[in-house]
Chains A and B, each alone.
Chain A
Amino acid sequence: MAQSVAAAGTATPASKARRPGGGKSVKRRQVVAGYCFIAPFFVLFLAMIMLPLFYSGYLSLFRTQLVGGTVFAGIQNYVDAIHDDAFLEGVWRMAKFLFIQVPIMLVLALLFALVLDSGRLHLQRFVRLSIFVPYAVPSVVGALMWGYLYGPDFGPFAQAARGVGLSAPPFLSQGWALGSIMNIVTWEFVGYNMIIMYAALRSVPTELYEAARVDGAGEIRIAWSVKIPSIRSAILLTVIFSVIGSFQLFNEPNLLKNLAPNVIDVSYTPNIYAYNLAFVNQQINYAAAIAFLLGFVIMVVSYVVQLTAQRKEGRS
C-alpha cells in the first residue's frame, strides 16, 4: 500500500503539467477539502484535549487553600511533587509494572500471533476470537469478576486451595496485589496486541517464507528470523501503547480498591493519586502538577523506548 501512495505522489506533477490552467485551484480545493475533513476532529481535539490541558497547566501554577483563596505559586507545586514520596512510590510501582507485565504480555501476544499465522492450528477463528474476547469485556466487568475470583473466602481459587488442604492464596495482600493486577491487565490486553501483530503478519509477503524454506529454515527459524523482523514496526507500536497504558493505570486498581482498601491506598498509582488529590483533598492545583509530571515521565520513557528501537534498527 505504501508503494501505491508513493506512485500517486510522483504521478501528480506530470498530470499537473497537462491540465489546462485549472491546476492551482484544483490543488487549493483539494487542500481546503482536506482541512474541512479533519476540521471536526480538530475542533473536538482543541476543545476537549488542548484547552483542558492548558487550563490544567494554568491551574498547576497556583495554590488554592480552603481558607485564604487562590495564590500564585509558580513552580512550587512541581517542586513539592518531585519531593513527594507518595508520588515517587507510585511512579516506581508503575515502572515495576512496566518492566514485568509489558514484556510478558507482548511475548504472549507475539507467540499467539505466530502460532495463529503458522496455519497449523485447527479452529483458527475460534481461537482468535476467544483470545480477543477479554478485550471486548468492559474493564469494569473484568476487574469486578477477577475481584471475585481473587476473594479469600468465597473465591474459587481459595475454595479449591482449601479443598486440598492449603490456605487461600493471598491475591490481594501487600506482596501479591501488584502481581494480581498485572494478571488482570494481561488477560485484558493480550488479545488486542495479538490482533495488531497478527494483522501485520498477514501482510508479510509469503515469498519471503518460501525463500527461507528453500534455504532450509524450519518454522521456528522462519518465525525468529523472517516474521518477527518484518513486523518490527507493529511490535514497536504495541510497546509504545503498553508503556503509556501502564503508567496511566487507574481502572483496575480503582475497582479492586473496595476489596483491599489498605493495600491499594490513595497513591497506589500516580493517576489514582491525582484523582484523590483533586476530589478528596480538594488540592486541584497540586493534582494538576502531578498529572503534568506524570505526562512528562511518560514522554521521557516513550522517547527512550523509541530511541532504543531505532538504534537497534540502525544496527541491523
Chain B
Amino acid sequence: MRRFRRSMSVAAVAASASLVLAGCGGGGGSEQNAPKKAVSQSAIDKAMNTPTTLTFWSWVPNLENEVKLFEKQYPKIKVNLENVGSGADEYRKLRTVLKAGKGAPDVTQIEYQYLSSFVLGDNLVDLAPYGASKIKSQYQSWIWSQVSRNGAVYGIPQDTGPMGLLYRTDLLKKAGIKPPTTWDEFAQASKAYHQKNPSSYLTDLPGNDPGQFVGFLWQAGVRPFSYDGKKTVSIKLDSPEVTKVSDYWTKLIKSGSVATDPDFNDQWYQSLARGKYASWLTAAWGPVFLQGTAKNTSGLWHATSLPQYSGQPVASGNWGGSTDAVLKGTKHEIAAAQLALWINTNEKSAMQLATKQFLFPPSKNVLQNSAWLDQKSAFYGGQQVNKEFAQINQTVNKNFDWLPFQDYVYSAFNETVGKAIAGHGDLTAAVKTWQDKLVSYAKQQGFTVQ
C-alpha cells in the first residue's frame, strides 16, 4: 500500500509537472534585422513555380475560400489551413512549437497586440524584402505602425476593429431614450433606462475584457504602453486621461446602472439575445457576433459612433484585429511571404474577406470600394453599417503601441481592474495596482522600465 501511495504522489507531482513542461517562454535577446535588399521578382516567380506545401494557422472562419483563390493563382503551391484555436489558445501552441523547434507553421495569424511578443523572441521573418514595403501606402499610419518597426515589417494587416456603439432601436424607443452621443448623455441614459427596466441595463461592462477597456483608453487619447523593439518599455497608466476614464466607469458602476457580467460566455450571449443589455460598446466585428448569437433580434439594431467627450474632437479607439505573419524556421520564406501578402492584399481576396467573413478591412482599396461601403445590412434594419464604421475608422486616434508580454498585461488586468469592476469597487485604485504589477513583472523579466 505504501509503495502504491508513493507512486501516486509521484504521479501527482509529475502530472502537474508535465503540465508545466509543455510550456515555454520566448527566446533570449532579440536582434533586429537590418533592412535587407529586396528579393528580386525573378526569385519570387521561381519560388512560386516550385511545388511547395505551406502550413497556415488561422482561426478566421471559412478562410479556405480565400486559400482556394490563392491556390488557383499559384497551382504549384499547396496550403494546409489549420485552425488550432483562437487567440490565446493559438499563441500557447505557437510558443510551444517555437520552443520545441519543430511543428511550427509557415504562416500564422497573430493579433496586433501580440506581434511584439513574437518580435521579442525573434520568431518573425521581416517581410519588407518580399514586397511588404510596397503596400505601406494602403494603410492608415496607425495600422502600419503596429506591424512595422525600424523599417522591418512583421505582419500583413488583415482586419481591424474600430469601436462604435451598437444599440437596440426598439428597446431605447420603448424606454423613451435618445441614443446618447456623449459620455455624459450615456451615463444619464443608463440611469434612466435602468430605472424604467429594473431587470435590464443600457450596457454591460465586463470584468474580463481588457481589450474593450483599453479601447476606451485609446479613444480618450491615452498611450499607456510602448516598446522600443529591444529592451526598454514604458508603462504609463497614471495620466489624467486614464483617471478620467476609470473615474467615469467607477461612478457609473457604483450607481448600479450598468451590468458587470463577464462577456463572451453562454450567459452573456443569452443576455444579448433576450434584451438584458440594450447596447454594446464594441468594435466593427461586433455585428458578426450578434448575427450568430442574437439571430432573433435581427432588424432591431443600429450602429453609431462611440459616445464622445464633450469639447473634444471626434475620436474612437480600436479593439482587436489580426495580421498574418511568417515564422522564422520556415523552409519556404518567399512562398510563405507571398501567401501572407496575397490573402490580405489581392483585391478579390480582400473584398471577399470583408463581404463574406465580415472582417473590417484595413486597406484603403476596400475601404473606398463602393460595393462594400453601400452594403445594406438586414440585421441593422437596412443600415449601411460598413459606411458607418468606415467613417468611424477615420477617427481612430493615431498610433498605439503594446507591450511585448501582452498575455500578462491582460491577465493582470483581470486580476486588478477586472476584479474591481465585478466587485463594484474603485477602478482608479485598481488601475494603479495594475500598473505596479506590470512594472514589477517587466523589471523581473529584465526590461528597463521608463
Contacts and interface: CB of A to CB of B under 8 A. Distances in A.
Interface of A: 48-50, 52-53, 55-57, 59, 64-70, 147-148, 151-154, 174, 233, 236-237, 240-241, 244, 247-248, 258-263, 265-266, 270-271, 274-284, 287-288, 291-292, 294-296, 298-299, 302, 306
B441 A281 contact: yes
Contact of B20 (A66, A260, A263, A284): A284
Contacts of A306: 1-2, 5
Given A259-B267, A281-B407, A282-B24, 16 more contacts: A65-B444, A69-B28, A151-B267, A152-B267, A153-B270, A247-B12, A248-B12, A262-B208, A262-B414, A270-B16, A280-B88, A280-B407, A291-B19, A292-B13, A294-B13, A302-B9
7 contacts: A56-B21, A70-B28, A237-B1, A248-B15, A259-B267, A280-B407, A296-B13
A246 B207 CA distance: 28
Contact of B25 (A66, A274, A296): A66
Contacts of B307: none
Contact of B445 (A56, A65, A244, A265): A65
B426 interface: no
B231 A288 contact: no
Given A274-B19, A279-B92, A261 B418 contact: yes
A116 B264 CA distance: 45
Contacts of B419: 262, 265
B267 A278 contact: no
Which of B11, B13, B262 has the most CB atoms of chain A within a 10 A radius of its CB?
Answer: B13
Given A153-B276, A281-B411, A291-B20, A69 B12 contact: no
Which of B6, B15, B26 has the most CB atoms of chain A within a 10 A radius of its CB?
Answer: B15
B56 interface: no
A37 B418 CA distance: 55
Given A66-B26, A291-B13, A262 B423 contact: yes
A256 to B, nearest CB: 10
Contact of A68 (B1, B270, B446): B446
Which of B231, B264, B411 has the most CB atoms of chain A within a 10 A radius of its CB?
Answer: B411
B276 A53 contact: no
Given A244-B9, A299-B9, A278 B29 contact: no
Given A261-B262, A299-B9, A67 B29 contact: yes
B446 A287 contact: no
Interface string B376-416: 00000000000000000000000000001101100100110
A288 B17 contact: yes
Interface string B4-45: 011011111111111111111111110000000000000000
B444 to A, nearest CB: 7
B10 A288 contact: no
A268 to B, nearest CB: 11
Nearest to A275: B19
Contact of B262 (A153, A233, A258): A258
A266 B16 contact: no
Contacts of B21: 52, 55-56, 59, 288
B298 interface: no
B441 A298 contact: no
A258 B264 CA distance: 8
A148 B266 contact: yes
Which of B121, B208, B262 has the most CB atoms of chain A within a 10 A radius of its CB?
Answer: B262
B14 to A, nearest CB: 4
Nearest to B88: A280
Given A244-B8, A279-B23, A280-B411, A68 B28 contact: yes
A262 B18 contact: no
Contacts of A277: 20
B29 A69 contact: yes
Contact of A153 (B2, B271, B418): B271
A69 B29 CA distance: 7
Contacts of A294: 13, 16
A57 B10 CA distance: 13
Contact of B13 (A278, A279, A298): A298
B16 A274 contact: yes
B411 A284 contact: no
A265 B24 CA distance: 22
B168 interface: no
Contacts of B23: 278-279, 282, 284, 287
Contacts of A152: 267
A295 B270 contact: no
Nearest to B271: A153
Which of B18, B92, B264, B418 has the most CB atoms of chain A within a 10 A radius of its CB?
Answer: B18
B12 A284 contact: no
A274 B267 contact: no
B139 interface: no
Contact of A291 (B16, B405, B418): B16
A271 B18 contact: no
